[in-house]
A = this chain, B = another copy of it.
Amino acid sequence: MIAVELHDGSFDPWRYLTDWQQTRQLSARSGATAVFVGTMRDFNEGDDVQSMYLEHYPGMTENQLHAIAADAQQTWSLDDVCIVHRTGEIRPADAIVLVAVWSAHRAEAFAACRHIMEVLKHHAPFWKKETLRNGTTRWVDKNTPG
């Protein structure tokens, strides 16, 4: 199963996983769960960042995330994949992205989770605009390296 969600407000990744797990508790089929959570930091490129606005391309963004998850399911043996991503106004310490992958095998879970994050960073249409502590704004022009 694949789940893709965009949230225009803060979300708690662990709460999300708790809820997800509760609907699947009895199947007991996935031995391995690999999870990545990206969180907003309060600094970037040496400057203090006060907040961030995350723009996206409604429609294409969801389609791309779904395609990335589906592609991972083709490559590895996965039970479930979920991708949750924030949009809109974001504060330091907020979760920006959650990628969770369930598999029978830990190697596949780890590899798929990591791969999804890298592809998402390079292909999912999101754009970050930072507001610095001194009030100026700037578009982030490139991603942090892997």
Contacts and interface: CB of A to CB of B under 8 A. Distances in A.
Copies in the complex: 2
Interface stretch (A38-46, A70-78, A80-88): A38-46
Most buried by B among A21, A92, A106: A106
Given A14-B15, A14-B17, A14-B18, A39 B31 contact: yes
A107 interface: yes
Interface size class of A (residues with CB under 8 A): 35 or more
Contact of A33 (B15, B36, B110): B36
Contact of A104 (B17, B40, B41): B41
| Interface pairs A-B: 5 shortest CB-CB | A28-B93, A35-B35, A33-B37, A14-B14, A28-B92
